Structure 1
Amino acid sequence: MLVVMSLAFAALVGRAFWIQVANSDFYIAQGRARYQRRESLRVPRAKIVDRNGNILAIGEPIYDLWVDPNRFAGASTAQLEIVSSALDVPVERLKRYRLASSRFIYLKRLVDVDTAELLLAKEIPGLYGVRGEKRYFPEGALAAQIIGLAGRAGQGVEGIELAANKWLKGSVERRVVVVDRLGRVVEDPEYAGIPEPSANVVLSIDRNIQRMAFDALKQGIERSEAKAGCAIVVDVVSGEILALVNMPTFDPNDGAGKQMTPTRNRALTDAFEPGSTIKPIVVALALEKGVISERTRFDTAPGTLRFHGKVVHDTSNHGCIDTTEIISKSSNVGMVKISELLSATEMWRNFRAFGLGGLPLSGFPGVTAGVLHPPTRWRPIEKGTMAYGYGLSVSIAQLARAYQVLANDGVIMPLSLYHSEGGHLPGTRVISSATARSVRWMLEKTVEPGGTATMASVPSYRVGAKTGTARKNDGNGYRSGQYLGIMAGIAPMSNPRIVVAVMIDTPTRGTFYGGPVAGPIFARILKGVLPYLGVVPDKALIAVGR
């Protein structure tokens, strides 16, 4: 017996040595694994703000509540009624959950923090919650297509939420927690409060200018009963986009309406034939090449021109007019005659230099480069029609960027949806300052009486603009009776600050011409934006030195 007991104690001592000395690290780790768990804690998604710090998108804490039917069966009738009242879930449904065979059923998602924590504090058997976050958009539909949407997993799925996702989502923090036998956290020794989110993403958008453009576009679409529309406001010097609005739009806070939301940002993703708004770009090339001047005269009578088997029409017989009048009266015949002084390669290079056929900005999903075929594919008739805006396609953002070149004394800037406090990138010279000033003079004449853009005039300010009316092309040909009304322009002409471009898709009430359809929208935007930016009225100033 003594030998047996001695051997038993020796075995125990050996076992104790094995556990506590020789292999202690393994057993300590196994013990900790039964009460400790490493959790990932995602940093809250960063805010999106406008150039003045106004919040456009922010994370809002929420809970997803779920039940374990096996334990939820122990909830009393009174407790079920409390849950039913707080979450607006029928008691009968809650009773059915208690009979389910699974161990997990979502009770309700996106529950506000106060409601969820009040229920969880009542320690109802089988009721659990997972803390999460959803995005809230304080301005609602105002900038919906710019901001976009973020998914349940904290990933951007549309707009800036997608484009700037790597800056918005931040990093993932890890922590060690103590759990009970059911895996519930009972102690968090490393808890130090909710971690700080990443730095805000600051957009170039100005909320107030965005509101002005939004209201003007909405009113214009309602007046013309149009299918859709978009507008853009660009800072001339920096290329920053101050406003970008689209109709129809949606409220990103409306969860019920997200099944079929019009998230497409038409100003960046939709390309169309620009019509007469392209004419100043072609005239700029002809002036730069020295083949014409402001006063070069062209005979446009009788208002039609047979050209390579086709007939080019003007709205009326303008007779013999000079280059400035070709722009102000929008003569297609005159533009065809100017195009004959230029080669296809020269026109193509000029379009490219003005940003057509290329992306107007980078880093935003779905941005279109439009269509600009290489010059080797141009037939003579196509070279003529491109001079007045048919045969190529652009987005409203590309059109605004092209006019920015004219406004910025011939220097093109990349457009941007992000605000930079440290200055902007240097631009690239496209045309001379003298050519840019000459074309601006023609655009200003277009707004004066006798021009096609008189609807764009603004009291107290000198404005230059060009209208465009284009037949709608769906890719399979032109649609009968469907048009786009377009206007692009610059203000103030004495010292250009902003470019505004507007496109109205399929107006059905009244006229379809760009002047009366898009002009009032253009003018209303300028009436609000110019005083807001502190621009001094310059209508009394005379263009000395012309």
Structure 2
Amino acid sequence: MSKQAKVNKKPKVITWRLYLVVVVIIAVFVAIASRAAFLQVIESENLKNQGDRRSERTIVSQSHRGNIVDRHGTALAVSVPVQIVWSDPKIVHEKNGLVDKRRWQALADVLDRPVEKLLSAVKNPNRRFVYLKRQVSPAQADYIKQLKIPGIFLKPSSRRYYPTGEITAHVVGYTNIDDEGKNGIERSFDEWLTGEPTKRKVRKSRDGMVVERLSTVEEGEHANDVVISIDQRIQAIAYKELKTATEYHRATSGSVVVLDVKTGEILAMVNTPSYNPNNRRTMNAYKLRNRAITDTFEPGSTIKPLAAMTALDFGEYKVDSMINTSPGWYRLGANRIRDPRNLGKVDIATIIAKSSNVGISKLALSVPKEQFLTSFYAMGFGSHTNVTLPVESPGVLRERRRWSDFELATLSFGYGMAVTPLQLARAYSVIANDGKLNPISILKLDKAPQGEQVVSPEIAQAMLQMMEGVTKAGGTALKARIGGYRVAGKTGTARKAVAGGYGDDYVVSFAGIAPIDNPRLVTIVIINEPKGDKYYGGDVAAPVFAKVTTGALQLLNVAPSKTVTVPMKLARLSSPEHRSIEGRLYEQ
């Protein structure tokens, strides 16, 4: 048997397989290169923009609102740090944040909100942002952090705090929850107090950390402080005395304005009722009005010195002229003007001291009508004081061609016109400032302004001396006297107008200047609708003037007058002996 020889065959290459592999590899590389080229060249800008949208953010630096301070630097409005509590409902649901109801109950307790409302706010998993509460204190924020509820976050913010509360509420005003000024100085100087925050573009990582600062989008401006003319010490005294008086006399409301004679700065402006801007629950609409500039009233007899001064400046009477007021009434057409009693023939000082309607009417009618009205306009009636506080009323002083003698006569004793307490204070500053009318300022001034001469200095000085008689024995305001200082003033008791005439309610007032020898302050006191037996300006408003002005003069270190003021108990005595003593004490 023979063996068959074996033949060694070489492996044969399968060409089509090789080509297939090569083609696939080349195709893969071509695809990768094409995709890379597509992404790098064609889609590069689109992809870059998408990446930027995911990572780039514009952050706004927090800018605290500027402070409001009084003329001595006492803080009246400041910004304090708080936190905003907010939630991302999507994260709450993704991380099972609703499982532990005890933590939500604790959160509801610290936020003072029903737990049901909190759970309702985060029940939609598609929402990404919802406020739970604005402006929580740092202590509350720390407690919320410790609860560690998924999806609950804190954001730094600030809120307004008013250290003096209701005492300066009407002047300073308040802000809303978005830190926007809504009343008073906060509103008038909102842009100045707010400033502008700085905006920067940054890149953030997925966990919210800033990894790159790219550029400054907008350079901000620092918030500014506002220094107002109010003296907080005088403001506090004025508010205390006004609130005490309105409560004691069961009055509807009241206002006090204290003005610096030389500069026109407002040292105090208070109203009742007031509100606490730190407690929004007390902010009823009727409490928000700054009545010293918004509410008008018929000034009554407080206008008489101004009318008499106009008559002396432009009429036929002189300082020592005598006016016959007999028989105690004065007929003008079908109307009759009356005095409480027949004063007979008296001088102008007695007309002011005794508040004679007949006497002041004759003085007013001695002046040409156009000149009489022009004088009132020149003293600021019927126009805004431009005090840069919101919602100021211009008052009412009619402009018309024809005025009857009776209308001019009633205008001379404060009927037929309406003024604000601040307007009345500005007009009285003319008497105190040698006939010059200064602009009114709620901001602290560096120097006294140049006033406008509206009355001759001699007549203003003469009227100031005459008005002292109002606080002397026989005058209408013995309770306005101040120990150690000579004061001048005028009472006002005016019926309130109602439909068809005048009702039974009164607005009582006292307008005073102190001290006479070197006037520094004008103080106006208005009490609206006092109840009880005492409803005259000398009984209700004059004591408030005395207490407020006494405290203000002492705080301002104003030197006592050169003459001695008669004590109240001596002033009440009516014997001829005591009256002669009083006369000697008041001699210059």
Normalised by the length of structure 1, the TM-score is 0.92
| Aligned pairs for 1:251-400 within 5 A | 251-260=276-285, 262-289=287-314, 291-400=316-425
Give, in angstroms, the shift of residue 68 of structure 1: 3.5
Alpha carbons of structure 1 residues 484 and 93: separation in structure 2 relative to 1, 3 Å: closer
What are structure 2's unaligned runs of at least 5 residues?
A: 1-19, 565-583
Look up the match of 1:233: 258
Q: CA RMSD in A?
A: 2.7
Bigger Cα displacement from structure 2, 108-117 vs 411-420:
108-117
Are the counterparts in 2 of residues 50 and 203 from structure 1 also a CA contact under 8 Å? Answer: yes
Are the counterparts in 2 of residues 148 and 162 from structure 1 also a CA contact under 8 Å? Answer: yes
**Distance of 1:127 and 1:196 partners within structure 2:** 32
Look up the match of 1:57: 77
**Distance of 1:545 and 1:454 partners within structure 2:** 18
| Aligned pairs for 1:128-527 within 5 A | 128-179=153-204, 185-187=208-210, 197-260=222-285, 262-289=287-314, 291-420=316-445, 422-474=446-498, 476-527=499-550
Q: Is 1:79 paired with 2:103?
A: yes
Give, in angstroms, the shift of residue 302 of structure 1: 2.0
Alpha carbons of structure 1 residues 209 and 150: separation in structure 2 relative to 1, 3 Å: same
Alpha carbons of structure 1 residues 154 and 188: separation in structure 2 relative to 1, 3 Å: farther
Give, in angstroms, the shift of residue 29 of structure 1: 3.7
Are the counterparts in 2 of residues 205 and 241 from structure 1 also a CA contact under 8 Å? Answer: yes
**Distance of 1:372 and 1:222 partners within structure 2:** 32
Give, in angstroms, the shift of residue 455 of structure 1: 1.6
Alpha carbons of structure 1 residues 69 and 368: separation in structure 2 relative to 1, 3 Å: same
What are structure 1's unaligned runs of at least 5 residues?
A: none
Give, in angstroms, the shift of residue 509 of structure 1: 1.9
Deviations 1:132-184 (A, max 9, x none): 32211111100111111211222111111111111111112213355566xx7
Give, in angstroms, the shift of residue 60 of structure 1: 2.1
**Distance of 1:531 and 1:431 partners within structure 2:** 30
Give, in angstroms, the shift of residue 117 of structure 1: 4.2
Look up the match of 2:59: 39
Give, in angstroms, the shift of residue 518 of structure 1: 0.5
Alpha carbons of structure 1 residues 532 and 259: separation in structure 2 relative to 1, 3 Å: closer
Paired residue total: 540
Alpha carbons of structure 1 residues 4 and 427: separation in structure 2 relative to 1, 3 Å: farther
Alpha carbons of structure 1 residues 95 and 166: separation in structure 2 relative to 1, 3 Å: closer
Deviations 1:454-495 (A, max 9, x none): 221101101000111111125x34442101101111111110
**Distance of 1:167 and 1:141 partners within structure 2:** 24
Alpha carbons of structure 1 residues 225 and 261: separation in structure 2 relative to 1, 3 Å: closer
Q: SS at the partner of 2:187? A: helix
Deviations 1:208-228 (A, max 9, x none): 000011111111112211111
**Distance of 1:196 and 1:141 partners within structure 2:** 31
Aligned partner letter, 2:83 = Y
Bigger Cα displacement from structure 2, 290-299 vs 209-218:
290-299
Are the counterparts in 1 of residues 198 and 221 from structure 2 also a CA contact under 8 Å? Answer: no
Give, in angstroms, the shift of residue 36 of structure 1: 2.1
Are the counterparts in 2 of residues 444 and 463 from structure 1 also a CA contact under 8 Å? Answer: yes
Alpha carbons of structure 1 residues 102 and 462: separation in structure 2 relative to 1, 3 Å: farther
**Distance of 1:211 and 1:20 partners within structure 2:** 73
**Distance of 1:277 and 1:146 partners within structure 2:** 25
Give, in angstroms, the shift of residue 52 of structure 1: 0.8
Q: SS at the partner of 1:451? A: coil
Q: SS at the partner of 2:318? A: coil
**Identity rate, percent:** 37
Give, in angstroms, the shift of residue 44 of structure 1: 1.1
**Distance of 1:258 and 1:178 partners within structure 2:** 44
Bigger Cα displacement from structure 2, 517-526 vs 296-305:
296-305
Q: Is 1:538 paired with 2:561?
A: yes
**Distance of 2:281 and 2:213 partners within structure 1:** 39
Alpha carbons of structure 1 residues 424 and 10: separation in structure 2 relative to 1, 3 Å: farther
**Distance of 2:237 and 2:301 partners within structure 1:** 26
Aligned partner letter, 2:555 = Y
Aligned partner letter, 1:455 = K
Alpha carbons of structure 1 residues 198 and 459: separation in structure 2 relative to 1, 3 Å: same
Alpha carbons of structure 1 residues 102 and 323: separation in structure 2 relative to 1, 3 Å: farther
